[in-house]
Structure 1
Amino acid sequence: MTTTPEHERDADAVRRYVESLALILTQIGLARMPSRVFAALMVTDSGKLTAAELADQLQVSPAAISGAVRYLDQVGMVAREREPGERRDHYRVFDDMWYAAFLKRDRFMIMWRDAATEGVSTLGEDTPAGHRLSVMADFLAYVIKEIPAMFDRWHELQKAKEAAEAR
């Protein structure tokens, strides 16, 4: 994998891309500031920035960064770490963070499936609402069952890609 030093990149193009990626993330349901913070972290070669660096880069207050990174940490999209001897936290995205984020979502899908199943029992499967909840529970059960195999296939694809790039 070749990297281009960040200082050689077109800073305006990078800022536009960060905002473009953030807009897409907000359109799929992520709040605006966590979207911008996540996008800013994704475009750094190191994958990590301090809150002050994020605030400076995004031209927002430290308080806005604080709330955004707290949310992103809770949902598994960033990790908080501290460098030895430093007092400031760094916020990091990892190349394989998608795996961890999906695993956290798996827990929510199980809760959602269980709630749908309870709704079917409460409303009756022969009612329109009960039928809708039954379809939802069936779909979520299917997705929950397929996630581990999907991740196995993903890891195999990544290994094959890395092996091909190493040649």
Structure 2
Amino acid sequence: MADYQNFFTQVQVRGPADLGMTEDVNLANRSGVGPFSAILGWFGNAQLGPIYLGSLGVLSLFAGLMWFFTIGVWFWYQAGWNPAVFMRDLFYFSLEPPAPEYGLSFSAPLKEGGLWMIASFFMFVSVWAWWGRTYLRAQALGWASTSPGRSSRPSGCGWCWASSARS
């Protein structure tokens, strides 16, 4: 540890890796301890992971990246594949929904709202897959469900709402 510390002295605290909740969890299934990042250490804890994604987490990340890629390619198309125009007009680009005569079917041409439908589908899959991952992780860890009537224990959101309703 440095003897003299000031604003410019770079000291990062690095202890043993935190494996998360270890109660009633088989630690043999966990692989690695997660890497440390010196850049993240400038702001606080430098540990990255371990993170369990599972199949729904991977699906969610893939669908989210496809949503981001679809919108990004459309914006580049609107800019005429010109980086200067892309940066200049980035906040004016938009991906418009289909016209009312097409409805919400996938029959709209790509340039007239079909790409909006595809991007919306990817976003829908991403959000619901992440919700499913979160729900399954909570079940696996033995946490209470936030749905009323589904658990005998008080849920976090229900307790938060109930405590804020008290006077």
Q: Same fold (TM over 0.5)?
A: no
Structure scoring higher RCO (CA < 8 A, sep ≥ 6) equals: 2
TM-score between the two structures when normalised by the length of structure 2: 0.31
Larger Cα-atom Rg: 2
Higher share of residues assigned helix: 1
